[in-house]
Amino acid sequence: MLDGDDSEIKKIKQKFIDVTDGLKCLELREVRELSVKNNIEGNRILDALSLYKYGIKENPWNMIEKEKIQNAESIIKQRVMGQDEAVRKAVDVIKRAASGLSGLQHSSKDSKPRGILFLAGPTGTGKTELAKSIAELLFGDEKSCIRFDMSEYQQPHSDQKLLGAPPGYVGYESGGQLTNAVKERPFSILLFDEIEKAHPSILEKFLQILEDGRMTDGQGNTVYFSETIIIFTSNLGIYKTFSDQYGNVEKIPVVTPNNSYEEIKDLVSKGVKDYFLDLGRPELLNRIGNNNIIIFNFISDEAAKQIVKSQITKVIQSIYERTKISINLADDIFENYYYRLAVEARENGGRGIGNIVEERFINPVSRYICDNDIEENTSIKISVNENLSDIVIKVEG
């Protein structure tokens, strides 16, 4: 029973029409029965839909702290460094998603995914890290970022692996990897890594997911994507590939660290657009939306320094938590040693800098602790040697 003035009732009715668009009569009846059984009033139609679709009474999106969303840009920048414009554009999508304002211009606005991002640019520049940081920000756990390596879906029938095989086919009972994941975690970040490596048949499936926010799996069950943020990553526009007469493939860089960020954005955007046009799927690009395509820059010298310092600081904290061994760094160790190594490794992205941290910090510290039988509550000092070529580790005191 709806109580209130006519205008309020009219709004609730319109909301009901919007959020139940596409549901069958039987499904609408089931929503009503669940609402009555659980004492959900008519003005809480979204809660009734959440209970029907996901089996929960309270929508996790409604429980996100407002302060987190307000400070999203500064929070994410602590993890994704040197990509200020990319983070800023991503935060716009996060705020639309959190406020429920995504896709208001579309007729199927309440069934679409909460947000869509297409992250393009050089490898190792923070695209995956951005997806993980969004998951932690919104849902408090990186595990809410569900990653799919699209290089595993290159074959013609890979869509069955992702969405489930039809009746009578091998794998029917087990369902699809994507549909199973969304059933288990309907409130999540779905990360499709290097989408260009997927078979075109899979891209066709995304047309329905991005438009309708749902998909029927191989077992005939409807899986809802309307509470997810969908993120694609891509290296499109970074290289051109050429094959010789013997089948050997050569990759020629289209963009390099010598290009300005404006040049990188133009070249990568063209690469993305050309890819979907060549596939004959420009409508997929339209579903994603030009404003949701975010181009990452190469890691700058300054960003490389920030990343190496952040990683080493986290390693020191982890070592203390696990071993109760304190590590103190000499004041000049970053300026005279690690910054230089990070800048040299930056062309290989964040992974290259991570390799430096492992090779030049974690490995020698691990060797020292093991070889010298360092015990709990010991403090060690790390400095750089006289010719600035290596670190020196000593027990303090």
Match 């390799």 to its residue by tokens.
355
Residues 166-188: pLDDT tens digits?
666 666 667 789 999 998 899 99
Q: What is the pLDDT of residue 55?
A: 63
Instruction: Tell me if 68 sits within 8 A of 75, measured CB to CB.
Output: yes
Query: Is 86 a residue whose pLDDT tops 90?
Result: yes
Who wins on pLDDT, 106 or 123? 123
Q: What is the pLDDT of residues 317-339, one digit of tens each?
A: 999 999 999 999 999 999 999 99
Ranges of each domain in the chain? 6-58, 66-295, 301-395
Q: What is the pLDDT of residue 37?
A: 61
pLDDT band with cut points at 50, 70 and 90 for residue 163: confident
User: Stretch 71-89: mean pLDDT, rounded?
Assistant: 96
User: Does the pLDDT at position 378 exceed 90?
Assistant: yes
Q: Which residue is listed with tokens 């000049």?
A: 332
Maximum CA pair distance of the chain?
81
CA dist., res. 307 & res. 51, Å (int): 42
Structure letter (DSSP) for residue 242: E
Measure the CA–CA gap between 115 and 95, rounded to whole angstroms: 9
Between these two residues, 354 and 204, which has the higher pLDDT value? 354
62 touches 47 (CB < 8 A): no
Lowest mean pLDDT among 19-28, 148-157, 297-306: 19-28
Q: What is the pLDDT of residues 15-72, one digit of tens each?
A: 565 556 556 676 667 666 666 666 666 556 666 666 656 666 677 888 899 999 999 9
Mean pLDDT value of segment 276-286: 92
Q: Which pTM was predicted?
A: 0.83
Q: Do strands 222-224 and 326-329 pair parallel, antiparallel, or not at all (unpaired)?
A: unpaired
Q: Is the dihedral of CA 60, 61, 66, 71 positive or negative?
A: positive
CATH class of 66-295: alpha beta
**Residue 14: pLDDT above 70?**
no
108, 102 contact by CB (below 8 A): no
Question: Could you tell me if 95 and 69 are in contact, meaning their C-beta atoms sit under 8 angstroms apart?
Answer: yes
Task: Quickly state the pLDDT bin for 218 (edges 50, 70, 90).
Answer: confident
Please give the CATH architecture assigned to the domain spanning 301-395.
Answer: Orthogonal Bundle (1.10)
pLDDT score of 107:
47
Identify the CA nearest to 236 among candidates 202, 201, 195, 204.
195
Tell me, what's the pLDDT at 70?
A: 96
Using an 8 Å Cβ cutoff, are 384 and 333 in contact? yes
